[in-house]
Structure 1
């Protein structure tokens, strides 16, 4: 059981440190952790506020406010769907490259800089560990989903 206690501590510590680090970096650019999360999602593809709400776990009204702040900052735009005018998409105001120039920590090179001191072997070991953790967590999520459907 001691191994699982240590694992629990490390997972919580890793989460806390990564949130703290991203928050400090984001603060330098005048945006919040929630805004970073939404930008990361919208960067992949345009989303509706409802989709962003489901992905983040925050209420629709909260996400709407965060999107308004991102819109005021010139990071995103709201655009009505061509087929269904009731649907509003949230898209990047600029292309991905311009966004990453404005907010470098959203680019791929940020992770390279963050872990620059690690050897290739250490990076591979870390990636293997994260893949293992993610596979177990995904399995547990799937089990939870099956229980909820019953």
Structure 2
């Protein structure tokens, strides 16, 4: 693996919850994140894991907060968007399956679906094969909402990732995919 370039943060580096500034510092010099060298692994597994956890938490918080702002701009809540996304990806589904997918109580999902039905995003219908089953179906307005929200989220992330060279983006994506696979592998 090629060495990473020197710290591009220069005199400004973020560590933990605080920002550290070293006036007049040269690029990479005195950076508390990379210890005056290069960003990347710091040494011990424990140090790397602690740093990874902190960065993951901070990135998740920023992206989650921006995601909620985007949803607010469109007048829907995070649980409503989650439900719309599940229906978009998986198609019509019984209320019970939607409750399971969302990991929410059925009473909560019933209220959620009622609000979305009033907004014209979904409709509840009886299953043709089993009249006891109520299915939730995404309507064109719900489909349109999914596309609009996703387009806005993609624009936000594009603005952020545009500053990274293509090679760095590819590496970041590869590492995230690998971590995702490790998380989903059953442990023995």
2:47 matched to which residue of 1? 2
Q: Which one has a larger percent helix, Structure 1 or Structure 2?
A: 1
With 8-17 and 66-75 compared, the bigger mean Cα shift is at: 8-17
Q: Is the 8 A contact 2:88 2:143 kept in 1?
A: no
Unaligned runs of 5+ in 2: 1-45
> How many residue pairs end up in the alignment?
139
> Deviation at 1:122?
3.3
Aligned-residue RMSD, C-alpha: 2.2
Q: 1:81 aligns with which of 127, 134, 156?
A: 127
Q: What is the match of residue 19 of structure 2?
A: none
Task: State whether residues 40 and 106 of structure 1, in contact with CA within 8 Å, keep that contact through their aligned partners in structure 2.
Answer: no
- Higher RCO (CA < 8 A, seq sep 6+): 1
In the TM superposition, 1:1-150 aligns within 5 A as 1-44=46-89, 45-94=91-140, 98-100=144-146, 104-107=148-151, 110-116=153-159, 117=162, 118-139=164-185, 142-143=186-187
Name the CA distance, whole Å, in 1 between partners of 2:177 and 2:72.
30
Q: Hey, which bits of structure 1, 4+ residues long, moved more than 6 A?
A: none
- TM normalised by structure 1 equals 0.80
What do residues 47-91 of structure 1 show as CA deviations (whole Å, max 9, x unaligned)? Answer: 222222212211111111111111111111111111001111111
- TM-score of the two chains, using structure 2 as the length reference: 0.65
The unaligned stretches of length 5 or more in structure 1 are none
Between structure 1 and structure 2, the one with the greater Rg is 2
Q: In the alignment, is the contact (CA less than 8 A) between 1:76 and 1:90 conserved in 2?
A: yes
**SS across alignment from 2:137:** strand
